[in-house]
């Protein structure tokens, strides 16, 4: 059990996370406050921005022969793949990759003296680190991380919404004497004695901590507390069997998560269909309303008897178009997921606007005799892509519902559990959208591919999606219900 309390002997000290340990001596981890979090964030922001800009300029120099932000007309595809895409990856994946590799730290967190740990005091899992970073999309709303800062200032443990969902906290990473740290590093040998040694020391240090808390001040016993915290994390870490974990995820956990959120999936799907019909009716009845859904260039192109999709490959190569589309699709799915936490209102808006847009475009193209060509463009990737958006929205609304349906004392735990279930579905959705991006970049805009192969690809990929989400591809039999594991 974990709780946030204030130290008895120093009212100026940070609140501590008190965790019941097997030794009988509670673990006390000092929680990082808004100042430390902000300092670490600003340091990391400066570093990732500098790294991204440096890569951009050096890569542009290798292509253009000079430092420039301009895009060369004769090497647009190469520029996109070598310059823009890696620079964007450095900026947006900085926190995710480094927190996983550095075990809850980043360079900024290390300089600020803080790290991410699980609410149990142990090392945060890879899934938890990924989930807490996905929620940066919510924390950044509506601008300048207003939501994230509000949560840090108002929650008892100074956590943002991503920490609530992932079950993590940010604590001060107190230093310990070099000789203590060296003893921990020397126990990396894969022997039984080396494996059992931390247990004995864990109990011994727990006894020392219990005595020190009665006789020493907070500052005096800080190195010993740090030692106790590190041993607690070492003893409570569990090995990950990646092959079994992946197999179990797709065979049992994702189907179980979808089963739990089936009601949300039904209402999100019905809402999407209703909005498609509403968008079609509005534009059919009031043609001028198409200006609300389409740009003037799109409207002019359709009125000339062409589709705006006909010239996609003439403007952008398939490789760039595919990467651009799959990136956009995954971002939309992420927003559909995180917007559901606003009591489902964000899901209603995002799913509704997408439905209205599709219905309006089909009605507008039908008035000009082009709806069959729009259908031919969409059929290969549309069934899975639209299903994935609905799945992401349902997962987000499922997590958001836990915030107001759970009793006040259980909301944090319920939200964390529901967010983890939604995160599993979001992982499957992201993998499926990778395939949609490839299809939409190479097959859908290719006018030489007839309708029948497009329909075969679209229906086949949709059946593949169903088999993946039901667990059949991972070996689950049809008469076996998914297990909650």
Query: Chain-wide mean pLDDT for the chain?
Result: 82
User: Residue 437: is its pLDDT beyond 70?
Assistant: yes
DSSP secondary-structure letter at 195? H
Q: Which residues contact 67 (CB under 8 A, 6 or more apart)?
A: 57, 60, 61
Q: What is the pLDDT of residue 11?
A: 38
Nearest to 74 by CA among 85, 88, 63: 63
Q: Contact 100/129 with Cβ under 8 angstroms?
A: yes
Q: What is the pLDDT of residue 391?
A: 95
User: What are 292-345's pLDDT values in tens digits?
Assistant: 998 999 999 999 988 888 877 666 777 777 878 888 888 888 888 888 877 778
Separation of alpha carbons 427 and 125, rounded Å: 16
Q: What is the pLDDT of residue 182?
A: 53
* DSSP-derived 3-state class of residue 103: coil
Q: Contact 14/30 with Cβ under 8 angstroms?
A: yes
- DSSP E strands, 143-270: 168-172
Confidence at 466, pLDDT banded by 50, 70, 90: very high
* DSSP-derived 3-state class of residue 220: coil
User: What are 224-279's pLDDT values in tens digits?
Assistant: 777 777 777 766 665 556 677 788 888 889 999 999 999 999 999 999 999 999 99
User: What are 97-140's pLDDT values in tens digits?
Assistant: 999 888 889 999 999 989 998 888 878 888 888 888 888 877 77
Q: What is the pLDDT of residue 10?
A: 45
User: Residue 66: is its pLDDT beyond 60?
Assistant: yes
**CA 15, 18, 23 angle in degrees (round to 5)?**
150
User: What are 183-205's pLDDT values in tens digits?
Assistant: 554 544 445 455 566 677 777 77
User: Residue 91: is its pLDDT beyond 80?
Assistant: yes
Nearest to 38 by CA among 102, 118, 87, 109: 109
User: Residue 476: is its pLDDT beyond 50?
Assistant: yes
Q: Where are the alpha helices (DSSP H) in 219-261?
A: 222-236, 242-248, 254-260
User: Residue 25: is its pLDDT beyond 60?
Assistant: yes
Q: What is the pLDDT of residue 244?
A: 76
Q: What is the pLDDT of residue 6?
A: 47
Domain ranges of the chain: 2-30+174-236, 34-172, 244-474
Judged by average pLDDT, the poorest of 21-25, 102-106, 163-167, 402-406 is 21-25
- Average pLDDT in the 473-480 region? 69
User: Residue 460: is its pLDDT beyond 90?
Assistant: yes
Q: What is the pLDDT of residue 40?
A: 92
Separation of alpha carbons 334 and 340, rounded Å: 10
Nearest to 335 by CA among 284, 295, 388, 296: 388
Whether the pTM exceeds 0.75: the reply is yes
Q: What is the pLDDT of residue 485?
A: 44
Cβ–Cβ contacts within 10 Å for residue 479, how many?
A: 5
């Amino acid at each position: 059990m974990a709780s946030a309390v204030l130290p008895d002997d120093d009212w100026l000290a940070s609140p501590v996370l008190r965790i019941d340990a097997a030794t009988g001596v509670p673990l006390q981890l000092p929680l990082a406050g808004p100042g430390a979090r902000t300092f670490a964030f600003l340091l990391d922001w400066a570093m990732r921005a500098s790294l991204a800009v440096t890569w951009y300029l050096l890569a542009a120099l290798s292509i253009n022969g000079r430092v420039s932000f301009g895009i060369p007309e004769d090497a647009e595809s190469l520029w996109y793949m070598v310059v823009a895409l890696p620079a964007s990856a450095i900026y947006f994946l900085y926190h995710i990759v480094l927190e996983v590799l550095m075990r809850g730290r980043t360079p900024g967190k290390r300089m600020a003296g803080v790290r991410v740990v699980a609410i149990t005091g142990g090392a945060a899992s890879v899934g938890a680190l990924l989930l807490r970073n996905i929620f940066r999309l919510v924390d950044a709303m509506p601008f300048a991380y207003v939501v994230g800062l509000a949560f840090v200032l108002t929650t008892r443990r100074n956590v943002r919404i991503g920490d609530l969902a992932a079950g993590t906290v940010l604590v001060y990473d107190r230093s310990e004497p070099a000789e203590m740290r060296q003893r921990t590093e020397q126990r990396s040998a894969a022997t039984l004695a080396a494996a059992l040694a931390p247990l004995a020391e864990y109990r011994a240090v727990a006894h020392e901590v219990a005595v020190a808390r009665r006789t020493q001040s907070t500052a005096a016993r800080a190195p010993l507390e740090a030692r106790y915290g590190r041993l607690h994390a070492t003893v409570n870490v569990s090995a990950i069997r990646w092959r079994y974990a992946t197999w179990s995820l797709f065979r049992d956990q994702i189907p179980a998560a979808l089963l739990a959120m089936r009601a949300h999936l039904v209402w999100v799907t019905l809402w999407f269909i209703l909005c498609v019909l509403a968008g079609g009716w509005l534009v059919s009845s009031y043609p001028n309303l198409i200006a609300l859904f389409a740009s003037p260039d799109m409207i002019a192109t359709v009125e000339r008897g062409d589709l705006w999709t006909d010239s996609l490959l003439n403007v952008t190569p398939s490789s760039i178009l595919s990467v651009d589309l799959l990136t956009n699709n995954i971002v939309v799915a992420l927003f559909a997921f995180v917007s559901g936490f606003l009591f489902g209102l964000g899901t209603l808006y995002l799913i509704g606007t997408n439905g209205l847009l599709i219905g309006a475009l089909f009605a507008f193209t039908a008035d000009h005799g082009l709806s069959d060509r729009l259908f031919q463009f969409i059929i290969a990737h549309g069934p899975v892509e639209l299903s994935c958006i609905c799945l992401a929205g349902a997962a987000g609304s499922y997590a958001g519902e836990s915030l107001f349906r759970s009793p006040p004392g259980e909301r944090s735990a319920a939200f964390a559990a529901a967010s983890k279930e939604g995160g599993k579905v979001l992982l499957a959705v992201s993998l499926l959208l990778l395939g949609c991006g490839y299809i939409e970049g190479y097959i859908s805009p290719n006018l030489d591919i007839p309708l029948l192969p497009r329909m075969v690809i679209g229906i086949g990929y949709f059946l593949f999606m169903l088999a993946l989400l039901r667990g059949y591809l991972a070996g689950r039999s049809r008469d076996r219900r998914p297990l909650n594991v």
